[in-house]
């Protein structure tokens, strides 16, 4: 991929104008989790419509469809936040959306996607791609990847514009990485505005495909059985996208990994200390900062809390464990 | 109390300047909980330092101490958010704070107050007031009431200034009521700026002393055994303060009550739908809007989520119940 194919600041600024009426400008929330030299602030994308940053990219991609494409509708496969985001963006635009989901997708996520007006079809995980192809062939629906798409990257990049506007003195941004759409967009925006700001990708150790690939200088893929073990259900994608890889190699300074215990501990701190409901994936950035802040040097750090769509039972279990701990130590 | 003794807009504006460096300007968070004619927005004071709006009043009251009073330090009795807020405000000002707490206060609240640098003393609930008197006599410490104090009211009123600045088109504000410090300040600010905006106080049915008194036109006191039954532990005060009562009769339009079930349901919606960690008391305003929005007429409504200091076990139990329900209905 040539550098002229990378998403640029102008496209991200255009995306910001395009989606201004569709998404929220989420707040920056201060915390007491930082160090003396690096205060930590959270970009609260858990407060975004549909509960995650995915509404930005989906909104931009849908807005850029041609009239002819709009008539055909959109399709994606996702069990997660992109499904809800695309469903909502399509409904806002008055077009049809189809989401192909693995049969195992939790009820609450199936229901949320249906509630946003999409047609949902459940399939065996192995049939996901082929079923999407069949529906595309039948209906002509436009496939919108959750991350491997320049309009998605430009939309997610609006998170970076807002961070820089609200915290112009920032020194680092910490971003959870799965397919790489969010970090590609944020990095493209921030490096164009302030090249000295460090961009740090954070992955669970159990889904550390980018950390491995970044160290080796070559995009790698991990097996689903391997990435599927992390509690961070939004970060189980097996490799960053083909278009995301060159953005990451061009703009990202470090990729670090965190243990499952570190993710659980960070999630408890975000919920009980910062009073924000995060999903496990959303707290991975905070875990990364807490373990690795030395790599970023001094100055304010912003961690992106990417989403808040946590299963009630997962959160209850985590908080139950917390009150156990409080009783024991009390 | 004569109207010239009520806290006015000028004092609230002065308070805002005085505490600007000590507290956060909390965000307004949109929700999907409103009606077609009345969108509902949340004023997220759960994201305030010390986890509640109490930091505002305490910050203002401490800043207004004379040098001679500062030397003597401050004292209060509180098992809740005012304790942490006063402890922090005192530490920021470099003065001593003593908090007398009932022996039954949960460990986490004792620890949080200690961590903010206060001297904490545990007593039998019945000895609370007498022990405060003893310490005042010994040390000359200045007593700072959680609500019945003009500087506290002016500090809490800064919530109203911010709401009006961020949502100038608002039609109503919904405020949880306990001793009445928060609603007194907010109502004084908003009615001075926009007299047409409806101010609605919300209480648990189980702690509905103000609702009863407001209807009868006379301040009433409920027994602690009665108010102690609500899950909204921040709203168990037995009566509004003497200085709060005339603010409320002058400026508040309605006082409504909500059931324990309505509080639990609103709390689940704030946590799972709006992604904000609220304490039960903080969701009482949302419960009030959901049940009684007709009293406010059309236009944007702002509910104050007053704090986020919820016991992990209480939240876990509530979310556990939620996932039970999802399983049953799924």
- Whether residue B176 contacts residue B285, with contact meaning beta carbons closer than 8 Å, is answered with yes
Is pLDDT of A17 > 80? yes
Residue to mutate among B312, B321, B325, B329, with most A CBs inside 10 A, is B312
Q: How far apart are CA A115 and CA A104, in angstroms?
A: 18
Q: How far apart are CA A158 and CA B27, in angstroms?
A: 19
Strand residues in chain B grouped as ranges (E): 28-30, 40-44, 74-77, 97-102, 119-123, 142-143, 172-176, 198-204, 254-258, 301-305
pTM: predicted TM-score of the whole model, two decimal places: 0.93
* Catalytic residue from among A43, A54, A109, A191: A54
Q: CA triplet A273, B55, B173: central angle to 5 degrees?
A: 95
* Short-list B316, B319, B15, B327, CA closest to B162: B15
Question: Of residues A326 and A56, which shows the higher confidence score?
Answer: A56
Q: CA triplet B236, B238, B239: central angle to 5 degrees?
A: 120
Residue A38's pLDDT is what?
A: 97
Longest alpha-carbon distance in chain A: 64
Residue to mutate among B281, B319, B322, B329, with most A CBs inside 10 A, is B319
Is pLDDT of A1 > 60? no
Q: How far apart are CA B279 and CA B259, in angstroms?
A: 16
Residue of A nearest to B106 (CA): A330
Residues 91-120 of A with CB under 8 A from B: 107-108
- Whether residue A30 contacts residue A43, with contact meaning beta carbons closer than 8 Å, is answered with no
Residue B143, C-beta contacts closer than 8 angstroms, at least 6 positions apart: B74, B75, B76, B132, B136
Residue B330's pLDDT is what?
A: 44
In this complex, which of A272, A316, A330 lies closest to B323 when CB atoms are compared?
Answer: A316
Is there a catalytic annotation at residue A54? yes
Q: What is the SS3 string spanning A220-247? A: CCCCHHHHCCCCCHHHCCCCCCCCHHHH
Residue of B nearest to A316 (CA): B316
A167 pLDDT band (50/70/90 cuts)? very high
A320 and B322 within 8 Å at the Cβ level: the answer is no
A317 and B316 within 8 Å at the Cβ level: the answer is yes
- What is the sign, positive or negative, of the torsion defined by CA atoms of B128, B131, B135, B137? positive
* Short-list A239, A96, A237, A252, CA closest to A185: A252
By the 10 Å C-beta count (0-12 exposed, 13-18 middle, 19+ buried), B17 is classed as exposed
Q: How far apart are CA A171 and CA B42, in angstroms?
A: 31
In this complex, which of A27, A51, A272 lies closest to B27 when CB atoms are compared?
Answer: A27
- What is the sign, positive or negative, of the torsion defined by CA atoms of A165, A171, A177, A179? positive
Residue A105's pLDDT is what?
A: 82
Q: How far apart are CA B41 and CA B300, in angstroms?
A: 7
pLDDT in tens, A262-310: 999 999 999 999 999 999 999 999 999 999 999 998 999 999 999 999 9
Q: Which two tokens stand for residue B142?
A: 């200045």
Sheet holding A40-44, edge to edge: A28-30, A40-44, A301-305, A172-176, A198-204, A254-258
Average confidence (pLDDT) over A38-60 = 98
Residue B326's pLDDT is what?
A: 57
Residue A47, C-beta contacts closer than 8 angstroms, at least 6 positions apart: A24, A26, A27, A276, A308, B27, B29, B274, B275, B276
Using DSSP's 3-state secondary structure scheme, residue B68 falls into helix
Using DSSP's 3-state secondary structure scheme, residue A286 falls into helix
Question: Of residues A200 and A311, which shows the higher confidence score?
Answer: A200
Residue of B nearest to A46 (CA): B275
**Scanning the structure block, which residue is given the tokens 């109207």?**
B3
Is there a catalytic annotation at residue B54? yes
Residue to mutate among A43, A277, A283, A310, with most B CBs inside 10 A, is A277
Q: How far is A127 from chain B (nearest CA, A)?
A: 24
Provide, as residue numbers in chain B, all residues whose Cβ is less than 8 Å from the Cβ of A308: 275
Q: Which two tokens stand for residue A45?
A: 């994308």
On whether any CB of chain A is under 8 Å from the CB of B10, the answer is no
Residue B251's pLDDT is what?
A: 98
On whether any CB of chain B is under 8 Å from the CB of A24, the answer is yes
Residue A330's pLDDT is what?
A: 44
What residues are paired with A257 via a beta bridge?
A: A203
Residues 240-279 of B with CB under 8 A from A: 271-272, 274-278
Residue of A nearest to B42 (CA): A47
B47 and A24 within 8 Å at the Cβ level: the answer is no
Average confidence (pLDDT) over A94-122 = 90
Residue B86's pLDDT is what?
A: 97
Distances B231 to B194, B263, B290, B316 between C-alpha atoms, Å: 34, 8, 18, 14
Q: Which two tokens stand for residue A321?
A: 């464990």
Provide, as residue numbers in chain A, all residues whose Cβ is less than 8 Å from the Cβ of B278: 275
By the 10 Å C-beta count (0-12 exposed, 13-18 middle, 19+ buried), B42 is classed as buried
Residue of B nearest to A279 (CA): B275
**Residue pLDDT tens, chain B, 330 long:** 556 689 999 999 999 999 999 999 999 999 999 999 999 999 999 999 999 999 999 999 999 999 999 999 999 998 789 999 999 999 999 999 999 998 888 787 888 999 999 999 999 888 888 999 999 999 999 999 999 999 999 999 999 999 999 999 999 999 999 999 999 999 999 999 999 999 999 999 999 999 999 999 999 999 888 888 999 988 988 899 999 999 999 999 999 999 999 999 999 999 999 999 999 999 999 999 999 999 998 999 999 999 999 999 999 999 887 666 655 554
- Whether residue A227 contacts residue A268, with contact meaning beta carbons closer than 8 Å, is answered with no
């Amino acid at each position: 991929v040539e550098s002229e194919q990378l998403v640029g600041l102008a496209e991200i600024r255009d995306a910001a104008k395009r989606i201004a009426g569709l998404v929220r400008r989420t707040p920056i929330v201060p915390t007491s989790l930082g160090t003396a030299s690096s205060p930590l602030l959270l970009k609260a994308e858990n407060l975004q419509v549909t509960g995650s940053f995915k509404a930005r990219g989906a909104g931009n991609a849908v807005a850029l469809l041609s009239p002819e494409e709009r008539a055909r509708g959109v399709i994606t496969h996702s069990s997660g936040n992109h499904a809800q985001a695309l469903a909502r963006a399509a409904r806002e635009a008055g077009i049809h959306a189809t989401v192909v989901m693995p049969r195992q997708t939790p009820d609450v996520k199936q229901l949320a996607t249906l509630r946003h007006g999409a047609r949902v079809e459940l399939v065996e995980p192995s049939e996901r791609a082929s079923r999407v192809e069949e529906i595309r062939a039948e209906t002509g629906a436009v496939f919108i990847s959750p991350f491997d798409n320049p309009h998605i990257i430009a939309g997610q990049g609006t998170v970076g514009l807002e961070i820089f506007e609200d915290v112009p003195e920032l020194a680092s941004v910490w971003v959870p990485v799965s397919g790489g759409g969010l970090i590609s967009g944020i990095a493209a925006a921030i490096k164009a505005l302030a090249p000295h700001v460090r961009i740090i990708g954070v992955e669970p150790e159990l889904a550390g495909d980018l950390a491995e690939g970044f160290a080796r200088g070559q995009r790698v893929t991990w097996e689903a059985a391997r990435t599927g073990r992390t509690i961070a259900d939004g970060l189980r994608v097996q490799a960053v996208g083909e278009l995301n890889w060159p953005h990451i190699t061009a703009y990202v300074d470090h990729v670090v990994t965190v243990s499952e215990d570190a993710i659980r501990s960070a999630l408890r701190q975000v919920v009980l200390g910062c009073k924000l409901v995060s999903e496990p994936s959303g707290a991975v950035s905070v875990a990364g900062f807490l373990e690795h802040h030395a790599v970023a040097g001094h100055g304010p750090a912003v961690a992106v809390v990417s989403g808040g769509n946590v299963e009630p039972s997962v959160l209850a279990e985590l908080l139950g464990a917390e009150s156990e701990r409080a009783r024991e130590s009390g």
